[in-house]
Amino acid sequence: MALEHAILVSLLEQPGSGYELARRFDRSIGYFWTATHQQIYRVLKRMENDGWVDVREVAQDGRPDKKEYSVAEAGRSALSGWLRDPVEPETIRHDLAVKIRAVAFDDPSALIAEVVRHREIHVARLEHFLEGEKRDFPDPGALGTRQTLQHAVLRGGIAFQRMHIEWLDDVLATLHRLRPDN
């Protein structure tokens, strides 16, 4: 499980509240890890009990108070230990692949629309990533350690989206070959 560790990294990059973390998980960190605010609050509570993070009540004006979390020494060493632990590559779960094979027993037309829809989603994500790259890493030669690493991860996301789009084009061509009338 890496949600704890993703939160630790995010809090090391910038301390913040559960709400702020949830928003980050919609943005940069969310490029490669997702979490809802409920999960984040639950895990933060557990991490607080385990002494991995420190909490500080912060009064804000114009907004409700928030609890600002920051990484404690125990959290830092937990992260350090995890970094030394081997993790297995994520197991692949791909609904669309199941659907594609299922077309052998059903009508392809519905799937073509679905594949086109997925392609659009991946194109949108790619554009989103490329915008983020242009905004955050305009001069890749002049980055600090943290930015260099963030950029490497983002390049992974970009490569993933591009690969996906190419493959979906391949799938669409295959489906059309099976059904030349569509």
Q: Which residues bind its own copies (CB under 8 A)?
A: 2, 5-6, 8-9, 12-13, 31-34, 76, 79-80, 82-84, 86-87, 89-106, 110-111, 114, 117-118, 121-122, 145-146, 148-150, 152-153, 155-157, 159-160, 162-163, 166-167, 170-171, 174, 177-178
Closest CA to 29 of 10, 48, 5: 10
Identified binder of DNA from the candidate list 83, 84, 93, 113, rule CB under 7 A = 93
18 binds DNA (CB under 7 A): yes
**Cα separation, 110 vs 103, whole angstroms:** 9
Name residues whose C-beta falls within 8 Å of residue 153's C-beta, 6 or more positions apart in sequence. 31, 32
| 3-class state of residue 133 by DSSP | helix
Give the shortest CB-63-to-its own copies separation in angstroms.
28
**Cα separation, 95 vs 168, whole angstroms:** 13
Comparison of 44 and 78: residue with beta carbon closer to DNA: 44
**Cα separation, 129 vs 64, whole angstroms:** 32
Comparison of 50 and 170: residue with beta carbon closer to its own copies: 170
